[in-house]
Structures are given as structure tokens and as C-alpha cells.
Amino acid sequence: MGKSLVPPGGGDDIQGIDLKKALEERYLAYALSTIMHRALPDVRDGMKPVHRRIVYAMNEMGLRSAGSFKKSAKIVGEVMGNFHPHGDQSIYDALVRLAQSFAVRYPLANGQGNFGNIDGDSAAAMRYTESKMTAVAELLIEGINEDAVDFRDTYDEENSEPVVLPGAFPNLLANGATGIAVGMATSIPPHNAAELCDAALALIRKPEATVEDLLQYVEGPDFPTGGVIIDSRESMLEAYSTGRGGFRVRAKWEVEDTGRGGYQIVVTEMPYQVQKSRLIEKIAELLIARRLPLLDDVRDESAEDVRLVLIPKSRSVDPTLLMESLFRLSDLENRIPLNLNVLSMGKVPKVMNLAEVLSEWLAHRREVLQRRSRHRLAAIERRLELLSGYLIAYLNLDEVIRIIREEDEPKIELMKAFELNEVQAEAILNMRLRSLRKLEELEIRKEFDGLTVEKAEIEALLASESKQWQTVAWEIGKVRKTFSKETELGARRTKFAEAPVADLAAIEQAMIEKEPITVVISEKGWIRGMKGHLADFAGLQFKDGDKLKIAFHANTTDKLLIVTTGGKAYTLGADKLPGGRGHGEPLRIIVDMDNDQAVLTAFVHDPARKLLIASTAGNGFIVAESDMVANTRKGKQIMNVSLPQEMRLCVPVTGDHAAVIGENRKMLIFPLEQLPEMSRGKGVRLQRYKDGGISDIKCFAMEDGLTWEDSAGRMHNRKKEDLLEWIADRAQAGRLVPKGFPRSGKFS
């Protein structure tokens, strides 16, 4: 017998719970914790808890921007021990990012030592690097000790930490943020601080301003690594209005003349968050895979600045075409998503638009102003209370001295004699004798008058909403001036441009190495592309019971059209065909082809050509090849046929007449102008039959005559005067073929 699972107490204290409910409660708690305390930034200061704690800890350690550096390990230890009880490496990683000028538009930490680089190299260990705050971080924390924000207990309840920073800098949009929570994520690209301040000032002047109004000031994202945004203003307006969207960012490049008609392309700015070393590896892989036939080599000549050199295959290569192919295949073009999902007022996750984000930041700045003003007012009132006590003492100095010298309870006597409160009496008793000189009395009177004026100003400020907004605007104006576009840090780095209009077909061809191949399709529908243009198809090998159906020459840059008996056309890139080793692959795996359909014909696509197609019933029409191209695996229905009828013929349109032969060996010749040109349909009757159907069709120029090949390989040609008895209108029965026509009923 196994051991009993019932505890010694008999199990009376065991409580049954619903597993589903328990899991829901616990997972909800985890989800809320992740959303609130890890992944989503606060709209007011734009920070997640770990970043806020790092900045606050540096402030508490006195690591001001004008002061000295401290070891990063010491800062991480302070943050982890007092505020953030998580792994030291995660805290250090967050600190490193705050100091990386290529990752953060306006760094909050000033790093000394190896803090990584744009190639993706990681920072040195925290014991080797040093850090301190930047001026931006000081702006964020300005007024923290003036009751500007609420504080809460730390995890161990031994200290307190700010719930949010005062945030005099528009950090959320200026530095951006990324994070993945449970069931939601955020992605905010960095922006230009001067533009954000201009938009905020406009919002103060006109609170009902729309996103479209604000985009007169905010041009778009401003990435620390520069680059060029190629999105239209309409798509950017849509993104900022809904809080969701994205921005296409391209590397900045220029053509450098190398002499003798040659050139090279130099990339000077990378898209945001693209590692240069990984990008070069990707381009090298594409070169090895022969996906970039226009590019010869890539070199990294970067030092402090980015300098990526691209060598074209020849001087005749169009640089725009080369770069367009690189933008398509590599991270030289990158899409930066926008998802303005933030904690509204630090509590509610919400996707906001640009106007809502700036409005909440302004509301926070106004609240900070009110709280700091009340804090200052309380300090002034306490000081005025003391100063008024001192002034009473100076006015009655002899009596004050007498009471202190003679009375047993001088404090009580002073309070009685001069109607002082306990604080004032205590302050008088604690005065030093040197303070009794005349000069000190004048300074106290001067301070009293100054504080009285300041008190009146603060009270007026707190009583007037318009004055509060004027003060907030003045503060934002100071930030605007500090980070104006005329300064090195504030100058816009990301530019805007329209993507050059390039021929898509030319770009696609530029991404494929041009090589000759032979396309082979078997009777059972197996397809392959063999290297080179084979002169003899007799030596081709097939599976047992299978044989050659079609073989033709092509290049890897060609598009192939495959037409089936079901009236469908499929498009394949010649470079995508399975190789010539083995027997290839079934066409039904490559495209969605029905089992009851077979390959009718296949050929290299010529957009300028037209085809005459016909069904077994003898119906047909003319279709442009450009209308037959299909962009999906499902293909494109060209001819409407249903079993037992099938599509039978597909021939190029040449000349001005068509000759049709039925299975009854009767031939009819009629002008091509009697046939309609359509992109899809059943077609019109080509020739009338009592029984049987169509056998063959040929287009020709009447001036040149009709030509066919007999079974012996001899060529026959009949001119117009010899064909008069077969020439009639479309849909006639025709007459029996001329003498010497092949028994097969085919023109060749």
C-alpha cells in the first residue's frame, strides 16, 4: 500500500478551489503587474519604473551633470538595493541604453567608458564604466524635493520613491519607448524636443487644436541615427491621429565619383535600431546567394561616423536602381512601428493620439506647478511667522531681555507679553546675541517685505488658471530655447523625402542574377529549370511512365506563364524553379492547380504580345498577355470552361487573319478583326461543327500566305488567290483542307 495523501490532521483544513478561477486571478495579477510596473511608460514623464528609479537614484547620490562620475556598479547597486529588487544585469542594461547616443535621442545618463556601439557590440561590465546624469535628466527631476509629485513606499518599506517624475522635458515622445506587456505592447519612436515644445505651446494657446494642427509643428519622428523618412504626410497624419501606424526609414546615401566615369555609393546614416555589422553580413549573404547582381562588393570604412561603401558591378549600373534593390532586400530600409499605448495618468493603459499625449503632459506640468507653488507658499508662511516674531523682539528688545533674565518660565512669559505662538517664542529664545545688532534687524525687515510680495504673487498664481498656463508656457519656452534646432543636440537629424518612382519590374530584375536556363515540363506536370540553353532535349530523363511535354529556353530574370486546360494562367519567376538535378517538383505543389486540369502550354511572358485562345467547343477570343499575369498561387481564370469542355489552343497573334481547322478536317479562314479582345470570358464561335471540335488554329498575314508543314517535313505555302474558297466570315463551317495538308489536322 502506498502512503496516504491525507495530512495528519485528517484533512479538515483543506479547502477546495476552482482551478480555472484561481488561474484567472493569478494570471490577471501577473498581467497587471507587467503592464503597470514593467512594460508600459507613463504618459507624464515617459518612463518605465526601472528608468525612473535609475534617474532618481542618481539624483539621490548627487550625480549631477556638472559633478563627477561614479562607477556604474555603484549606481546599479543603489537602485537594486533601495528601489528595484530585480537582476543587476537588467538594471545595467537599462542604464546603458539611457547613455547610448545612437539609441536614445536625448540621453539621460552621461556614460564614461565603453557603452557599446552601433555595430551591436555590448557595453563593458558595470565595474569598468562610470555614469552621471545629463541636463535632460535634471530637467525631468527638477522640483522632486518640493512636493511636486506623490511618493510611495519602496518594496521593503524602508524608503520612499516617486510615483512619477516632475517631467519638465517632453520625454515620452522625445526619447520614445518600446515594451511588450501581456496582451498589449507599446512602440514610440523618438521626436525632436523643440518641435514638441512648439506643439505644446500651440496647444496651450488653442486647447481644441487637432492633430492636423499640431503636425504643423511636429514634422515627424527624429531618430538619433538620422536617416530619411519616405512616408507621405497623409499616412503620418493617420498614424498620429489614431496612435497606430508606422514609418518607413531609409539609410541616407550619396554617389561618390571615383574617376574615369566610375562611381561608388556611400551610406552615411543608418536606419534607427539597425546594427551595422549585422546589415553588412546580410548584404554579404545576398551577394553570395547572387541576389544582388548589380552590386560587386560592400566595405565598411566607418570610424566615428558611419561610412558604408557599396561598389556597383559596372559604371553603367543605375545607382537608384541598385539602391532600390538593396532597400527591398536588406535593412537599409526599416519600418519603425508607432503604437502610442501608454499609462494614462499612470493608471489606465490607453492608445492615445498626439494631441492627447501632449495634453496629459501639459496637465501634469500644471499640477506640478500648483504643488510646487503650494509647497513654496507653505515655506514662506513658516518663515514669515518666524520673521514677525523676530521683528516683535527687536521692537521690544529691552523687555525681551528682562523676561529672559528674570523669569523662571521665559517662553510662557514671552507668549503672554507679546501674543506670540510657541514657534515664535522658541525662535526668539534661540537667537544669538550677535543677531541683536541693528544691521540684522534691517535684513530681517527686507526679507519679510520680499517674502510678503512673493507670497502675494504665488497666491495670485494659484487663484488664476490663465496665470498658471502662462507660467507653464514660460517653462516650456525655456526648454525650447535649451534644445532649439540651432543647438548641436537639438538640430533635426532625420530628413523627409519621397521615394523615387522606379519601375517595379526593373527593380525585381535587378535583384536576380541573369542566367540562361532551360525550362522542362513533363506530361505528368513535373517542372524544373536546367542551367544553360540545352540544344538537344532527347537526353532528358523522366520518371517511369512520364515523358517530355514542353521544353523551352529562358533566363532567370524572365517571368513564365503556364496555361492549363481549365482556362487558368499561372505566373512563375524563372529564378524560383526547382533545379535541374533529379526530376524537379510537381507543378501542383508550386501553384494551386486543380487535379482535373493539365498543363496546356507554357512560355516566357512577353507583355507586348497578344494570344488567341480557343476551347474544344470551338469558342475563342484574343487576350493580352499582360492581362494573364497572376500575382498569387491561385492563378488567374482567363477562359470560362466547364468539363467536359476544356481550353485546347493558345497561339500568338500575328498578321491579320486566322485559319481554323476542325477535327472534321474542314478549314475556315477569317479576319482577326472579327474576334473580340477580352481579359476573361467564354469567347465567340470560331468555326461551326456538326460533331467533333477544334483541331488547330494559326494566325498569319494574308500578304505572306498560309504556311504548313507536312508529315515528311516539307513546307507548303498558299497565297491569297489559292485560299479564296476557304475565306469567309467567322463561325462558318469551312471547307475540306487543301491537298497535301497533314493527316494530323495540325499546321505543324
Residues with catalytic roles = 128
Determine which helix (DSSP H) or strand (DSSP E) holds 588, and give its type and residue range.
helix 587-590
Distance CA(396)–CA(335), nearest Å, equals: 78
Q: How many CA atoms lie within 13 A of 73 on its CB side?
A: 6
CB distance 569 to 636 below 8 Å: yes
Strand pairing partners for 529? Answer: 519, 579
The cell for 733 is 463551317
Do 312 and 295 contact (CB within 8 A), yes or no? yes
Please answer whether residues 524 and 543 qualify as being in contact, where contact means their C-beta atoms are separated by less than 8 angstroms.
yes
CA 591 to chain centre: 31
Cβ neighbors of 251 (< 8 A, separation 6 or more) are 227, 228, 267, 269, 270, 271, 308, 332, 333
DSSP-derived 3-state class of residue 602: strand
C-beta neighbour count of 478 within 10 angstroms: 13
CA angle 636, 609, 509 (to 5 degrees): 75
- CA-based Rg of the chain, rounded to a whole angstrom? 42
Q: In sequence order, which ranges of 230-318 are alpha helices (DSSP H)?
A: 233-242, 276-288
Q: What does the alpha-carbon distance between residue 448 and residue 437 come to, in Å, rounded to a whole number?
A: 17
In three-state secondary structure terms, 256 is strand
Dihedral pair phi/psi, residue 272, rounded to 5° = -60, 135
Contact 589, 633 (CB under 8 A): no
Distance CA(731)–CA(619), nearest Å, equals 9
Per DSSP bridges, beta strands 559-564 and 735-736 are unpaired
